[in-house]
Amino acid sequence: MKIILWIAGIVIAAFLLDKVMLRMESRGWIYYRRKKPSQTGLGNAFLEIQTLLDPSKKAMVEFRKEEKKEQSDSGDPPEPGRKTSEVS
């Protein structure tokens, strides 16, 4: 009987924690289940740090820097989603 009460308590606690996390996500405080984080400068900063630990990531950092430079050099505004689409 004691084990069943412990399991029920854990299930209830997990359910309540899920509701609290969803509420925090709806207020924009965290990313949890429904919203996905966007790529930010923080992610690029972590990638820079990772290149020190894992040199194979260096090519990805250089590619991103070059891609960003090409976008800023062109006079065109950036396209939504950074996907190139040709109109025929």
Q: What is the pTM of this model?
A: 0.42
pLDDT digits (tens, 9 = 90+) for 17-33: 999 999 998 888 887 87
3-state secondary structure of 83: coil
Q: How far apart are CA 30 and CA 36, in angstroms?
A: 10
- Structural domain boundaries in the chain: 1-34, 38-74
Residue 80, judged by CB atoms within 10 A of its CB (0-12, 13-18, 19+), counts as exposed
Question: Binning pLDDT at 50, 70 and 90, where does residue 4 land?
Answer: very high
pLDDT digits (tens, 9 = 90+) for 29-70: 887 877 666 666 667 777 777 777 776 666 766 777 777 777
